[in-house]
Amino acid sequence: MTRDAAGRPGDGNAFSRFFVRVDNALEPIFTTTPLVDDSPPVDEQELRSRPCPVCGRPISEHAFEETNGNVIMECPTDERLPEPLSNGPLNEFGMPATGRRLEKYEERQAREEAEREAQREAREEAEAERA
């Protein structure tokens, strides 16, 4: 009774006002923002004529299956584009390394090449002294 009497008229008690303030403060954080499509419109015919990254044929020739929330693309041919060769290091996912890992690999390759060159020169000098 006292809490209700101490509160502002029509505003509820201090307890309910506290949670109204908390709700008002947290509402912008937990509500979803409206989606805005900033990308320019793409012609549907252009999308269908783009080549498939797997087989190289137009996407319009492919079949798509949606099962269990997954989209599976079936290519119309068994031919596949050749995979790009990667002679360098791979990251933990089996993809070509980038960034600092690639820099470290290149530094190590240069250092090993310099060591091989120094060993070859030392061998040549030793052979020249024997002769």
What digits encode the pLDDT tens for the residues 6-31? Answer: 555 566 688 888 888 999 888 888 88
17 lies in some domain: yes
9 lies in some domain: yes
What is the rounded distance in angstroms from the CA atom of residue 115 to the CA atom of residue 102? Answer: 20
113 lies in some domain: no
- What are the E-state strand segments in 25-104? 63-67, 70-74
114 lies in some domain: no
51 lies in some domain: no
Q: Domain range spanning residue 7?
A: 1-31
111 lies in some domain: no
What digits encode the pLDDT tens for the residues 72-84? Answer: 888 888 887 777 6
23 lies in some domain: yes
pTM of the predicted model, to two decimals? 0.35
48 lies in some domain: no
Phi, psi of 72 (to 5 degrees): -115, 125
Q: Which two tokens stand for residue 115?
A: 């060591």
Residue 105 and residue 97 in contact, taking contact as beta carbons nearer than 8 Å = yes
pLDDT at 63 over 60: yes
Total of domains in the chain: 1
Beta bridge partners of 77: none
